[in-house]
Amino acid sequence: MKTLEELKKIRDEARKNINVRNNNPNDIKVLIGMATCGIAAGARQVMKEFINQVDKKNIRNVTITQTDCAGSCEYEPRVEIIFPGNEKATYVNITPEKVSRIIDEHIINGNIVKEYTIGWNN
């Protein structure tokens, strides 16, 4: 270890792995419906894709976790995104291919991807 900068680099890298333990209320929450219906519709793949992309894009203020069945199983896989202090946006019939756009437009830039939300097609 030669410089403080070197130490800080290790620190920032290591923080990625323990961030999840902070339970930070200011994190953006990504909730993925993971009841039996969700899993059957492919929620596991959606979740994996979220984890992958968040990691790849080096986003720190996001907590990815599961939520229960909302009662309308035909809309699964379903993803809810909650910004601190804001209402949640609910995306339905999400596939791994759609994840990237949600992250770029909504999580990074704060614009809801309207055509993926419930009620868009009606």
Among the candidate windows 11-19, 88-96, 97-105, 109-117, which touches another protein by CB under 8 A? Answer: 11-19
| Residue 45 to residue 77: CA distance in whole angstroms | 10
If DSSP codes are grouped into helix, strand and coil, which group holds residue 26? coil
> Residue from 28, 46, 54, 99 that binds another protein (CB under 8 A)?
54
Cβ–Cβ under 8 Å, residues 68 and 36: no
Per the CB < 8 A criterion, the answer to whether 30 and 64 are in contact is: yes
**Can residue 20 be called a binding residue for another protein (CB under 8 A)?**
yes
55 scored as a contact of another protein (CB under 8 A): yes
Q: Which residues bind another protein (CB under 8 A)?
A: 1-4, 7, 10-11, 13-18, 20-21, 23, 27, 31, 34-36, 39, 44, 47-48, 51, 54-55, 63-68
